[in-house]
Structure 1
Amino acid sequence: MVLVRVYGQNTELLIDRKAETANFLLLQKAGYAPRLYATFNNGLAYAYVPGEVLTSNMVKNPSIYPLVARMLAKLHNVECGPSMSKEPVIWRRTYHYLSLIPPTFTKCQLQKRFVECFPDGIDFLKQELQELQQNLSDIKTDVVFCHNDLLLGNIIHNDGKVTFIDYEYAAYNYQAYDIGNHFAEFAGVSEVDYSRYPNKEFQISWLNIYLSEYNQCKNAAGTVTFSEINDLYLEVNKFSLASHLHWAIWALVQAHHSAIDFDFIG
């Protein structure tokens, strides 16, 4: 079965479609993506991935979450060519999204909600982003090839295997960001419930599995130490803040430009 995906209205403002195709081909070559059959100006065609999309219950299932942890560790070890920037994408991309937020929303209800949430407007968001960048930039987490959008809907489970789909945001980024973003997605999208954010016990177990696979892919000797796990745990939960701010700014852009019937501001 072949899937044909047509790009949404104004998505080129947020997504580099040439980079998406390059990501697809890179991961296909590594054996982590379905076959890409064709690309065209406003979409692409690729092989269907059979299976179930993860739910908030499935993602914590003891038989499933280790598969996700190991798969992400493998993806984080994918080697890219010299043409791809090795700089963490999060700051550059988020500042770009910030520049796309309109001074005033054309829909009165959106403008009212924006002012309620952000009385100081875009300047407040810019200040928050600058402070967050300053506080996180000194953290010595690895910079690796990341998915950058590992929400539950982008993980397909089938017969003891998981496949990640949708690579339009993939790029080099902080290792801890990609994991923190995944954990933040446990809360859901349309019906958000932050009580579903994974607790420390779950995260420690998840990170232990992840690091074991990550080190094995790098041919690193020795067992994973608690110090390694705890360091990454602290990094992940700090970078999850960057994930929240990044997608909040993304949502404001979508609220103005997207034709999708979705309450991006809430």
Structure 2
Amino acid sequence: MTTESHPIDHPDTASVDDDTISTTTTTTTNYNNNKHRIPPEATKILQQLASTWSEVMDATAMQVVQLKGAMTNEVYEITWETEENLPTRKVLLRIYGEGVDVLFDRTDEILAFKTMSRHGQGPSLLGIFPNGRIEEFINARTLSAFDLRDQKISALIAAKLREFHGLVIPCSDNGMLWDRLRNWLKVAMSLCSSADMDEFSLDCLEAEIDILEKNLVRENQKIGFCHNDLQYGNIMMDDETQVITIIDYEYASHNPIAYDIANHFCEMAADYHTETPHILDYNKYPEQEERKRFVRAYLGFSDENSSNDAEVEKLLEDVEKFTLANHLHWFLWGIISDNLNEIDFEYKEYARQRLHQYWLKKPLLKG
């Protein structure tokens, strides 16, 4: 059942396109008006947008700051100075990574953003250009890797995720887990060198997907609208109101809810704001009690209530098994991205770690 959503307090924005979309704010690197990074089509929309705000002093005088942590797109904060004593105007510019459309359906993504906004879940889409978009800037903070271990914040995330899963979002079934894994495997095999084919045993992975599907699919499995990429950088929080907002829906689709929770747990091994953002530390994977607290909060059970332990344990068991599918999912993403994306990230090494975890955890299927 969908709980009442918490609408974002939108600033007064002039929308170029009556759509909605999500934003992100992360650690920044200042490029001091490095406008050559912005496509001309985007510059035109940005200037048109700023010219509708009477307090902006010069619509052409934009400060461009790249936001770190994005691994699919390049993301920039665009700021204009305003008249004295008025807050600056900000928007978020997202430039799509090269070739990433093979990973998800961009039409489904935009449709999801529209619907999420109608549910009070996301900010406005201010403009679209051929290889990117302009979004409203949310005045909330993006969580850190450390925040995911905070019990209070974790409980808020769990409750928001349950709400997210209950949303009715129209989209195709192309992003369903098993279809996506098989499609991504075909793309990876078409892109990889023979050396990579041999190293990663890509010829064997279709059989592994079949094994996972046979073992993990069951009748009456709870399916919901899943984010599929619930890392800390895709979660924002207003510290004053404690409202959580889940953002960035590129990989979102209908899937087993256990898969989405498994993905969130696996992401606790990552910190994308270190000197080596591709390195994963599985010593940070949540312990049994931490996972149990999250699942109890997700299901809406209090810590004192033991009458629902069987339901909690069953979901925990399913989640652990779905980590296998999650490792294959992001392994294939890494291999494909290594061949297509020019963002500074060690995709292949990231993929290598995820595949290693798959083989290491495969005995879970016997449990």
- The answer to whether TM tops 0.5 is yes
- State how far apart, in whole Å, the 2-side matches of 1:125 and 1:18 are: 29
Q: What is the letter of the counterpart of residue 91 of structure 2?
A: V
Q: 122-131 or 34-43, which moves further after superposition?
A: 34-43
**SS of 1:63 mapped into structure 2:** helix
Closer, same or farther in 2 for the Cα pair 1:155/1:41, shift >3 Å?
same
The aligned length equals: 249
Aligned to 1:180: 262
Change (3 A) 1:139 1:235: farther
Tell me the residue number matched to 1:92: 179
Distance 2:297 2:165 in 1: 14
Kindly indicate whether the alpha-carbon contact (under 8 Å) linking 1:187 and 1:196 is maintained by their aligned counterparts in 2.
yes
2:340 pairs with 1:257: yes
- Cα separation, 1, equivalents of 2:284 and 2:143: 14
SS in 1 for 2:126: strand
Q: Which residue of 1 aligns with 2:247?
A: 165
Give the stretch that moved more between structures: 89-98 or 155-164: 155-164
Deviation, 1:151, is 1.0
Alpha-carbon displacement from aligned partner over 1:80-128 (angstroms, at most 9, x marks no partner): 34xx34687011111111111145745xxxx646533x2xx32112121
1:235 paired with 2:318, answer yes
Q: Which position in structure 2 is the counterpart of 1:15? A: 104
Q: Is the 8 A contact 2:175 2:252 kept in 1?
A: no
Q: What's the C-alpha RMSD, in Å, of the aligned pairs?
A: 2.2
**1:203 and 2:291 equivalent?**
yes
The structure in which a higher percent of residues are helix is 1
Code of the aligned partner of 2:178: W
User: Equivalent residue for 1:191?
Assistant: 279
- Judge conservation of contact 1:207–1:232 (CA < 8 Å) in 2: yes
* Cα distance in structure 2, aligned partners of 1:261 and 1:252: 14
TM-score scaled by structure 1? 0.86
Distance 1:104 1:166, change over 3 A: closer
- By how many angstroms is 1:158 displaced? 2.2
Q: Which amino acid aligns with 1:179?
A: I
Instruction: Extract unaligned runs of 5+ from structure 1.
Output: 214-221
1:70 partner letter:
A
The residue type paired with residue 131 of structure 1 is I
Q: Equivalent of 1:34, from 106, 113, 123?
A: 123
* Preserved contact between residue 102 and residue 256 of structure 1 (Cα < 8 Å): no
- 1:137-191: CA deviation from partner (whole Å, max 9, x where unpaired): 1264301111111111111122122211111111111110011101100000523
Cα pair distance change 1:223/1:39, threshold 3 Å: farther
Q: Which runs of 5+ in 2 are unaligned?
A: 1-89, 273-277, 350-367
Please give the alpha-carbon distance, in whole angstroms, between the structure 2 residues aligned to 1:87 and 1:47: 28
Taking the aligned partners of 1:13 and 1:73, their CA distance within structure 2 comes to: 29
